[in-house]
């Protein structure tokens, strides 16, 4: 069945036109100058605009929430999955890791902004905010680990 369908369609489709036919060049459509430039100006924005300010503040808040939820989880006796417990138990080092995560997120957003990927610039912060918040909520929802008692 598949062979029959491809053989019927193969006669109608050609990759190249025969040499005897003259091909007319396709017309080039030039958009009006004023209209296109105003649309481009609307899409371009400053990096430190109000929307990015709120997104970066959200990422920082989510990372702060993750910091405190992880410390709470460790106090209750649970183990950290992504980092070593020694790093999490060193509060200053763990705070630096959380701040660095926020900085890396802002840096990635800047690179997307710099090279014209404005949707990815915004989505970097949105996804980071969502993942950090869901991780913090998960940490608070874990049951307290009770040490086993021996016989």
Q: By mean pLDDT, which of 37-51, 58-72, 129-143 is the weakest?
A: 37-51
Between CA 95 and CA 140 the distance in angstroms is 18
Q: In which band, very low, low, confident or very high, does the pLDDT at 39 lie, cut at 50, 70 and 90?
A: low
Judge whether 56 and 126 are in contact, CB under 8 Å.
no
For 37-53, what is the mean pLDDT?
75
pTM above 0.85, yes or no: no
Judge whether 93 and 87 are in contact, CB under 8 Å.
yes
Q: Which residues contact 88 (CB under 8 A, 6 or more apart)?
A: 70, 71, 74, 80, 94
Percent of the chain with pLDDT over 90: 64
- The pLDDT score that the predictor gives to residue 8 is 45
Between CA 116 and CA 105 the distance in angstroms is 17
Between CA 106 and CA 41 the distance in angstroms is 23
Between CA 139 and CA 58 the distance in angstroms is 18
How is 60-100 classified by DSSP, letter by letter?
A: HHHHHHHHHHHHHHHHTTPPPSSS-HHHHHSHHHHHHHHHH
């Amino acid at each position: 069945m598949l062979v029959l369908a491809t053989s019927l369609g193969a006669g109608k489709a050609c990759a190249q036109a025969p040499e005897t036919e003259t091909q007319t060049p396709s017309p080039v459509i030039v958009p009006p100058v004023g209209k296109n430039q105003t649309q481009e100006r609307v899409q371009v924005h400053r990096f430190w605009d109000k929307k990015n300010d709120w997104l970066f503040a959200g990422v920082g808040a989510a990372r702060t929430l993750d910091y405190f939820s992880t410390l709470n989880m460790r106090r209750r006796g649970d183990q950290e999955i992504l980092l070593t417990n020694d790093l999490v138990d060193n509060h200053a080092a763990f705070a630096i890791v959380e701040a660095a995560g926020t900085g890396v997120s802002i840096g990635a957003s800047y690179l997307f902004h710099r090279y014209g990927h404005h949707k990815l610039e915004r989505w970097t912060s949105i996804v980071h905010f969502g993942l950090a918040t869901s991780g913090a909520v998960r940490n608070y929802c874990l049951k307290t680990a009770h040490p086993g008692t021996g016989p």
